[in-house]
Amino acid sequence: MPLDNLATNYPENPSVKRSTRWIRLALALVGAVLLGDAVALMGMGLFNFGITLPACIGIAFLLLALCWEGVARWRKADRRRHWLWHAGWIAFAAWLVTVGLFFYGIRSGMDASVPAGTAVKALVILGSGTPNCKASPTLIARLDQGLAQARRWPDAKVVVSGGQDFGLQCVEADIMADYLVARGIAADRVIREGRSTSTEENLVFSRRLLEQQGVDATDPIVVVTSDFHVRRAVQIAGKAGFGKVAGVGAGTPIYLRYNAWLREYFAAISGWVLREY
């Protein structure tokens, strides 16, 4: 007997109806939270895959909650659709497990520090975007961490690395340099790297500029970035030619944290595929 006939001939159990209502409510609530979070961040000028993907999932959940009965009829009409439905949810759950494991790895690797007694020759502060040509909260956190490290090693050169964001006329390195100089770092100590568009370019271009300033690639350097990005940035720095690299992480604002971690999840996969580290 076809699945749709089964659904027609046997009325749905009241307990099933109740569980269906709870499922739809849960989908609607989760979808609203995901979409609302993404819209709020986009309103701040922040656009990346860690924001747009939750928005898409949120929209899908809201539509599924709204059209649940129609989707149920569609999947019950054909056994293959029924199995496809379950396979899709299993795949989604498996993906969530991999994301959770990645988040656990990020959290366990946040406490990186520079070994005591290291004679640091240079700091490389990585950019993270300048929506509306202003330093984002994530970038400010990196710059403040860079200030602390620059005061710890007053003789070290300071590279600020970030190019021109898409659609903007400003260069991120200039905004970063102005921020540091306004807070007491000597202008002639700051090296501006304003061409890069990726972490790999950040570090390759910074190495070349440092070599022009007499800092050899084998000299100890510190990469300053966000806490979730430290591990990958240090690996990329090694691939870029730096011989002695330590990483220091800046805290990520709580409202942006998990979106940033999700973006890093895909960036890590992309970097591995492209052999950036």
Distance CA 117, CA 277 (A): 27
What pTM was computed for the model? 0.79
Helix (H) or strand (E) holding 80: helix 79-108
Token code pair at residue 55: 């928005």
Q: Do 31 and 61 touch, CB atoms closer than 8 A?
A: yes
How many whole angstroms from its chain centre is CA 66?
A: 31
Contact yes or no for 201/276 (Cβ under 8 A): no
User: Would you write out the chain's pLDDT as a tens digit for each of its 277 residues?
Assistant: 344 443 444 455 666 677 888 999 999 999 999 999 999 999 887 888 999 999 999 999 999 999 999 999 998 888 899 899 999 999 999 999 999 999 998 887 676 677 777 889 999 999 988 878 889 888 999 999 999 999 999 999 999 999 987 777 889 999 999 999 999 999 999 999 999 999 999 999 999 999 999 999 999 999 999 999 998 999 999 999 999 999 999 988 888 899 999 999 999 999 889 887 7
Helix axes 254-273, 199-212, angle to 10 degrees: 80
- The answer to whether 154 and 256 are in contact (CB under 8 A) is no
